[in-house]
Structure 1
Amino acid sequence: MKVGSVVVLYNFNESFLKNLELLKKYVDFIVLVDNSSVSSQNLFEEFIGDGLVYIPLYGNFGIATALNKGMEVCINQNCDWALNLDQDSTFYNDIIAVYRKYINNNTCTNIMGLCPQYFTYQNNPKLNESSIQVKETIQSGTLFNIEKYLKLGFFKDDYFIDYVDFEYCYRAEKQGYIFMRCNSAALIHNKDEAVFDKDYKYYREIKCFKYRHHYMYPSETRTYYVFRNGMDVFFTYKKISVLINLLTRIVKCILFEKNKMGQLKAMLNGFRDYKRKKYGINK
């Protein structure tokens, strides 16, 4: 079983190289797809050719386009599975070893992908040896079956970012494929949609008696994509959870957001462009 990995980069820093060293130990082949405007090939010279390919796009073409380009290389390298990874995700443990064990011990006829648990700033999961079917998962940390990826088709380029992964999960579900979460695999995932706030950093802690909630300040750009793509996903797949997420964002914006007008305008623009069927990058 040959396992490849597709890592999407964008204005990354050299700390990513530590992740890369680990990744090289876990997988058989790596594709780095760089959405940055400037090539960083010089940073990877020592790795290129040694089971690694670096593809600079010289511009931000979005997560889906980058993933599709990387998956194409994995296909050409005869990989059986491909791990998708963000630059800001780090390994808590050897998730590939966990995935290999699951694949070797289970029938994977209808499995599109395997995913881990995620440690985030507000999520601290308990690891165990069980596995469970999930309706959706983010792409970072998910191991995709190449054969089934070819049957289902590419990630949706029109979305650019946000809901690219969930749309793929729902599309897979319609075709009878499933995603399994291996609860002993874990990834440390950092949210990348927040903007820095001098008072609350990236988020604001909301306290009510024993209840604690972290409201993360999203950028207007990401809010636009969330609402534009989210509306399309909701009406395409009739997923109530997506609608609830969008409505919850509106309520949280009204209650906790400092930049209420900017955020509400971004939501409105996203909904407007969904109605116009205007997709791709928001210029």
Structure 2
Amino acid sequence: MLSNKEQACFSSCSIPAIVVLYEPTKENILNLKQYANNLDCLLILDNSSSTNITLIKEVLPSVTNINQNTTEPIRKTKYHYLFFGKNLGLCKALNIGVNILKSKYEWILFMDDDSTFATNIVGCYQNFIKNHDTKDIAILAPVHLFDRSKDKISSGIEDISWAMTSGCLYNVKLFSKLGGFDEQLFLDCLDLDFGYKAKRSGFRVIKCKDAGVNHNPAQTNIFNLLGISIKYGVASPERYKLQCQNLFYLVLKYNSLSILKIFMWKWIKAIFFFDRKIEYLKNMSIGTLKGIQRFMRDKQYVFYKGAEK
């Protein structure tokens, strides 16, 4: 039986989750059911072109529709669905979700619609919060399990620079203090940006090695080089344009060699491994240029704001 102190702790760290849908498959919706019972609340946000409420009700019959400006007590029911009617982007959708939940919760879990729990990450995070001072911790991150990763579930914790969003538990107070996700990034690199922003502001990103999430970051292809199989991720040329735009913007924003290495790996894959090389390289060049342009606009804005003072 929990002591009064433990009961108070678990009450204060009741964990809700936000998942953002975009043209989901039935399998994506079934993923929600795999972990829904572990949560205090599940907020489903839909960026699709048409509503998926019927499909969701087949899996979670008690789900209720809410609107973006809801003032209803979110804990009255457990599962909530908000359809935007258009694709707002992952960054903006998550910011809206946090705004809906932030008055009721101190921590919020983010899940991708293609991710599932490999361990009871809610329990792992609650145990960590119960036993540690978390005032300077911005993110608790899991071990992400996928076919290109060598990471494994173990024990203990590790300070890291950033973590992929899915399966991460965000400190609501610090999320708001740091301005949430940069909505101009739209979809890619929001996690990289927020992690660096948190670290540069003196906060921590902690990997809980006993928390595991099954994750699917991009399609995996295999390139054979002298009998050695090299696994690598691949997405569409359009997606690579956005990734290069955001990555190079962040390279300049944080003056980061580590982010530059991620950016360069994209180019190495496109040049040596990909088919349709010209299409990829054209899109990636356009994206890189847009990243430079955004950085210059931001610098100009800061300069003018400074001059106004």
TM-score normalized by the length of structure 2: 0.83
Q: Which moved more, 1:108-117 or 1:241-250?
A: 241-250
Q: Which residue of 1 aligns with 2:32?
A: 20
- Structure 2 counterparts to residues 194-205 of structure 1, below 5 A: 194=219, 202-205=220-223
Q: Which residue of 2 aligns with 1:60?
A: 87
Q: Work out whether residues 17 and 110 of structure 2, in 8 Å CA contact, stay in contact via their aligned partners in 1.
A: yes
Q: Which residue of 2 aligns with 1:47?
A: 62
Gaps of 5+ in 1: 195-201
Instruction: Report the number of matched residues.
Output: 269
| 2:97 equivalent to 1:70 | yes
| 2:168 equivalent to 1:134 | no
Q: Work out whether residues 31 and 114 of structure 2, in 8 Å CA contact, stay in contact via their aligned partners in 1.
A: no
- The sequence identity of aligned pairs, in percent, is 25
Residue 267 of structure 1: CA displacement? 0.9
Q: Work out whether residues 33 and 69 of structure 1, in 8 Å CA contact, stay in contact via their aligned partners in 2.
A: no
Q: Which residue of 2 aligns with 1:183?
A: 209
Counterpart residue type for residue 267 of structure 2: I
State the distance in 2 between where 1:273 and 1:230 align.
11
CA RMSD of superposed structures (Å): 1.7
Residue 154 of structure 1: CA displacement? 1.7
| 2:170 equivalent to 1:147 | no
Q: Work out whether residues 91 and 181 of structure 2, in 8 Å CA contact, stay in contact via their aligned partners in 1.
A: yes
**Closer, same or farther in 2 for the Cα pair 1:16/1:254, shift >3 Å?**
closer
Runs of 4+ in 1 over 3 A off after TM superposition: none
Larger Rg: 2
State the distance in 2 between where 1:239 and 1:10 align.
31
Counterpart residue type for residue 66 of structure 1: A
Q: Which residue of 1 aligns with 2:3?
A: none
- Structure 2 counterparts to residues 78-89 of structure 1, below 5 A: 78-89=104-115
| 2:234 equivalent to 1:208 | no
Residue 124 of structure 1: CA displacement? 4.2
Residue 44 of structure 1: CA displacement? 3.2
State the distance in 2 between where 1:158 and 1:90 align.
28
State the distance in 1 between where 2:189 and 2:234 align.
18
More helix by share: 2
- Structure 2 counterparts to residues 1-283 of structure 1, below 5 A: 1-45=13-57, 46-49=61-64, 50-76=77-103, 78-192=104-218, 194=219, 202-209=220-227, 211-277=228-294
Q: Work out whether residues 19 and 91 of structure 1, in 8 Å CA contact, stay in contact via their aligned partners in 2.
A: no
Q: Work out whether residues 5 and 30 of structure 1, in 8 Å CA contact, stay in contact via their aligned partners in 2.
A: yes
Q: Which moved more, 1:167-176 or 1:118-127?
A: 118-127
Counterpart residue type for residue 131 of structure 2: N
Gaps of 5+ in 2: 1-12, 65-76, 298-309
Residue 148 of structure 1: CA displacement? 1.2
Residue 22 of structure 1: CA displacement? 2.9
TM-score normalized by the length of structure 1: 0.90
